[in-house]
């Protein structure tokens, strides 16, 4: 007998929450905080609870997705940094301005340390938070510091034990969360890509291309997060079956991403050519169903179940292939009705070739999805697949030192952020000393929490912080009035801590409200909550104002000024990707590490460009530069990457066929042209501020296209020697490149566009 609709709704909500990553983080924090409070109540250590809780919070802030071995190493390193921070506070607490100097130097060094990787960023952030916590505990006297610091370190060590044991006992959950998110964002990318295949009039394709390019950054971020999660758990021996399955799913997602990001033709040309046919709707339906299949696969991975497909995708592919065959028959009939010897190439030859490539790509993509949940039936076949992943973590102290030295440049976002954060903390400390604010360290905590390397991220975070603080104080006050019992308040305190750690990566406003409620309840437990609400509001506002002013005035890292460098990186990585693809056409398809790394670097550079554009739109108008040129460059570079991805996706069909001399010449010219344009942009970025007399060099791509048989004023129509799909894709890249070149010239020469229009 089925339960009531309310019971079913609660059960469904509980299942969704249980399979959410935030639930796992919150449950871990709940256990650690509950154990601390239980021990404190049992031993009657009410006064010692606050330092231990602060240590637990600081340690939890250093946690990243890692294996138990990696988490153990990170925890030991974090405890070492915590000890250094506590020692610095103990040595300087008697002299406030010396304490400020130690804090400023620590903030600068720790922020630069965060440039190494996400693991070191988390450790640096948690260490700086513990420095402020220790200074807050030692505000009364050095004796107070000597008493509170060991308790903080004990709390940090306790959470480290919980985290390591949790990672050892449940290693699969983080990987499952990353893979589920990857397929979820991949499904959305498929949906956005399907919108480009709609053969209707007055469609704003550029706007849809921009949405696709911006979402591609999210897909790349999800791919990188999944890769890091797998990398941290890959040992020297044979991985367990569940990890092999996850690796298989990751490689399948990479294959799907390359295929779905492929473009075999200008979509407006396809829409015009097949306007009176339903073939593009058939292709769009297949792509939409594949997007739904990716979302179902995401849910299945998260819930450890099998997705239900009901055969709709297979039937849609059959309908699509039948529609393509119908177009072939119509074109053949039209050709037979004319004198083939005296007529030019049929106008439908090029659209039909692209349509066949599109259909083949969609069919192959469906096959990738079909095998994404299980390993191949033949273990020997799977062992032949290169499962090697590239580890971007520092491999040695020398490697880490060289990476840190590379950040000592005025163009480094991390160096600018470290200087900005250090000066902000100095100003906040000066305000605290000038006003003799007993809770002034909350100003410093607010600055640390809201300050981000990017101006847009800082503004977003400080608004969330202010809103969350107000909500948390209201909820905390209501909880104190409604539940005066100490035991109930302690339970609410633990619950608030769990919500904070569960939501801080996804819903920062809620997380801030939870940690503010935790703080208010903690003061209530110690009997010192008088005046806390007003002080918290005022100090949060002051900290937000200081951070906002610093992000505007102190060495800001405006995105428009980084675009020549980012654009150069995009072109360089696309050149290396093209080189890797060409090598595969000569040797045959093989998804080894070198090829996958070239492909991933090209997409990483494209994602960095799209993320920079998104951040730039949130910056002040006066520093955005020529946003229209940047938007056009982003769309064109992403389109060019789509054409290269199509080359990579069709390696299996063309890899063993010889390439004619004309196609090889075009490929070499495009390769050299991409590298030359990249080098010109890099030189222009290095000479920023100096008047340049020479614009970006113009490689002779148009001349090669003319020699290849392409009229410059018309869309490329491949000659008889270039009927292969490879030649067709290279022609599309060659057509986009001159436009990219013109926009690159406007990036480094802002007056070039105006001069050209005059």
pLDDT band at 703 (very low <50, low <70, confident <90, very high): low
Which carries the bigger pLDDT value, residue 722 or residue 679?
679
Whole-number CA gyration radius for the chain: 29
- Nearest-angstrom CA–CA distance, 302 and 21: 9
pLDDT band at 755 (very low <50, low <70, confident <90, very high): very low
Q: For position 757, what pLDDT does the model report?
A: 38
Highest mean pLDDT, choosing among 39-48, 482-491, 722-731: 482-491
Residues in the chain: 758
Q: For position 685, what pLDDT does the model report?
A: 72
CA neighbor of 223 nearest in space, from 263, 252, 193? 252
Q: For position 660, what pLDDT does the model report?
A: 74
Q: Give residue for tokens 């903690």.
A: 522
Contacts of 450 (CB under 8 A, 6+ apart): 458, 461, 462, 465, 543, 544, 547
Output the six-digit token pair for 691. Answer: 């008047």
- Nearest-angstrom CA–CA distance, 647 and 226: 25
> pLDDT for 430-464, tens place per residue?
999 999 888 899 999 999 999 999 999 999 999 99
- Nearest-angstrom CA–CA distance, 114 and 418: 10
Distance of alpha carbon 214 from the chain centroid: 11
Share of the chain above pLDDT 70, in %: 84
- Nearest-angstrom CA–CA distance, 484 and 495: 16
- Nearest-angstrom CA–CA distance, 638 and 255: 18
Contacts of 318 (CB under 8 A, 6+ apart): none
Which carries the bigger pLDDT value, residue 23 or residue 144?
23
Q: For position 707, what pLDDT does the model report?
A: 56
Q: For position 110, what pLDDT does the model report?
A: 95
> pLDDT for 742-752, tens place per residue?
898 888 775 54
Q: Does pLDDT of 298 surpass 60?
A: yes
CA neighbor of 637 nearest in space, from 565, 560, 559, 740? 740
Averaged pLDDT for residues 477-491: 89
Q: For position 111, what pLDDT does the model report?
A: 95
Averaged pLDDT for residues 90-108: 93
Q: For position 305, what pLDDT does the model report?
A: 80
Q: Does pLDDT of 654 surpass 80?
A: no
> pLDDT for 128-170, tens place per residue?
999 999 998 877 667 777 888 899 999 999 999 999 999 999 8
Q: Is 344 exposed, middle or buried (0-12, 13-18, 19+ CB in 10 A)?
A: exposed
Q: pLDDT averaged over the chain?
A: 84
Which runs of consecutive H residues, i.e. helices, occur in 67-139?
68-92, 96-113, 118-137
> pLDDT for 333-342, tens place per residue?
766 666 554 5
> pLDDT for 32-58, tens place per residue?
999 998 888 787 777 678 899 999 999
Q: Does pLDDT of 9 surpass 80?
A: no
pLDDT band at 695 (very low <50, low <70, confident <90, very high): very low
Highest mean pLDDT, choosing among 323-332, 547-556, 671-680, 716-725: 547-556
- Nearest-angstrom CA–CA distance, 189 and 211: 9
Which of 223-227, 285-289, 504-508, 687-691 has the least mean pLDDT? Answer: 687-691
Q: What angle do CA 375, 378, 381 make, to 5 degrees?
A: 90
Output the six-digit token pair for 353. Answer: 């070739």
Let me know: does 85 contact 127? Beta carbons within 8 Å.
Answer: yes
Highest mean pLDDT, choosing among 139-153, 206-220, 689-703: 206-220
Share of the chain above pLDDT 90, in %: 49
Q: For position 62, what pLDDT does the model report?
A: 94
CB atoms closer than 10 angstroms to residue 383: 10
Q: For position 698, what pLDDT does the model report?
A: 45
Q: For position 718, what pLDDT does the model report?
A: 40
* Three-class SS state of 118: helix
CA neighbor of 647 nearest in space, from 720, 562, 734, 709? 734
Let me know: does 52 contact 130? Beta carbons within 8 Å.
Answer: no
Q: What is the maximal distance between C-alpha atoms in the chain?
A: 101
């Amino acid at each position: 007998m089925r339960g009531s609709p309310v019971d079913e709704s609660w059960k469904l909500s509980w299942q969704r929450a249980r399979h959410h990553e935030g639930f796992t983080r919150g449950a871990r924090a709940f256990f650690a905080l509950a154990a601390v409070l239980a021990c404190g109540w049992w031993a009657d250590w009410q006064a010692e609870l606050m330092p231990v809780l602060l240590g637990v919070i600081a340690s939890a802030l250093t946690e990243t997705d890692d294996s138990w071995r990696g988490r153990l190493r990170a925890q030991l390193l974090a405890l070492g940094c915590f000890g250094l921070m506590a020692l610095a506070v103990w040595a300087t607490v008697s002299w406030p301005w010396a304490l400020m100097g130690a804090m400023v130097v620590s903030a600068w060094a720790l922020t630069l340390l965060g440039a190494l990787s996400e693991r070191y960023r988390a450790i640096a952030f948690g260490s700086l938070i513990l420095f402020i916590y220790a200074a807050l505990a030692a505000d009364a006297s050095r004796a107070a510091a000597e008493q509170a610091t060991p308790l903080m370190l004990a709390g940090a060590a306790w959470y480290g034990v919980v985290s390591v044991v949790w990672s050892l006992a449940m290693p699969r959950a983080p990987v499952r969360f990353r893979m589920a998110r990857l397929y979820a964002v991949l499904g959305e990318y498929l949906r956005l890509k399907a919108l480009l295949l709609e053969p209707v009039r007055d469609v704003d394709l550029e706007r849809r291309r921009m949405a696709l390019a911006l979402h591609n950054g999210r897909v790349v971020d999800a791919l990188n997060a999944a890769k890091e999660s797998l990398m941290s758990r890959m040992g020297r021996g044979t991985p367990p079956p569940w990890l092999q399955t996850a690796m298989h799913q990751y490689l399948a997602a990479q294959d799907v991403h390359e295929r779905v990001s492929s473009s075999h033709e200008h979509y407006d040309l396809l829409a015009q050519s097949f306007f009176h046919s339903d073939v593009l709707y058939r292709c769009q339906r297949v792509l939409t169903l594949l997007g739904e299949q990716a979302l179902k696969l995401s849910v299945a991975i998260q819930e450890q179940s099998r997705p239900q497909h009901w055969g709709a995708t297979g039937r849609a592919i059959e309908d699509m292939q039948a529609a393509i065959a119908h177009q072939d028959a119509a074109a053949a009939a039209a050709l037979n009705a004319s004198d083939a010897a005296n007529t030019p190439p049929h106008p439908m030859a090029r659209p039909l070739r692209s349509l066949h490539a599109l259909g083949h790509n969609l069919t192959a993509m469906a096959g990738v999805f079909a095998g994404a949940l299980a390993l191949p039936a033949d273990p020997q076949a799977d062992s032949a697949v290169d499962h090697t992943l590239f580890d971007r973590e520092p491999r040695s102290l020398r490697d880490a030192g060289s990476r840190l030295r590379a950040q000592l440049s005025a163009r480094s976002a991390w160096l600018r952020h470290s200087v900005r954060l250090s000066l902000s903390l100095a100003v906040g400390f000066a305000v605290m000393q000038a006003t003799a604010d007993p809770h002034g360290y909350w100003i410093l905590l607010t600055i640390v929490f809201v300050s981000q390397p990017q101006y847009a991220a800082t503004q977003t975070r400080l608004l969330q912080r202010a809103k969350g603080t107000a909500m948390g104080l209201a909820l905390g006050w209501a909880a104190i009035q409604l539940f005066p019992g100490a035991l109930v308040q302690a339970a609410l305190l633990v619950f608030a801590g769990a919500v904070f750690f569960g939501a801080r990566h996804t819903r920062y406003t809620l997380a801030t409200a939870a940690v503010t409620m935790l703080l208010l309840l903690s003061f209530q437990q110690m009997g010192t909550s008088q005046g806390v609400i007003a002080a918290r509001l005022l100090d949060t506002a002051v900290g937000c104002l200081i951070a906002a002013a610093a992000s505007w005035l102190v060495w800001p890292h405006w995105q428009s000024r980084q675009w020549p460098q980012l654009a150069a990186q995009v072109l360089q990585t696309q050149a290396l990707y093209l080189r890797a693809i060409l090598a595969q056409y000569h040797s045959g398809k093989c998804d080894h590490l070198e090829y996958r790394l070239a492909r991933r670097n090209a997409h990483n550079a494209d994602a960095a460009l799209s993320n920079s554009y998104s951040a730039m739109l949130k910056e002040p108008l006066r520093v955005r530069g020529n946003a229209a040129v940047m938007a056009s460059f982003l769309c064109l570079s992403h389109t060019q990457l789509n054409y290269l991805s199509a080359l990579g996706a069709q390696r299996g069909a063309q890899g063993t066929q010889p390439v004619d001399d004309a196609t090889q010449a075009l490929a070499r010219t495009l390769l050299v042209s991409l590298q030359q344009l990249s080098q010109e942009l890099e030189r222009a970025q290095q000479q920023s501020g100096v008047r340049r007399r020479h614009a970006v060099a113009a490689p002779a791509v148009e001349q090669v296209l003319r020699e290849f048989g392409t009229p410059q004023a018309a869309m490329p129509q491949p000659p008889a020697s270039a009927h292969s799909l490879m030649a067709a894709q290279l022609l599309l890249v060659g057509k986009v490149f001159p436009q990219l070149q013109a926009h690159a010239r406007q990036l480094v020469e802002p007056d070039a566009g105006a001069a050209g229009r005059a």
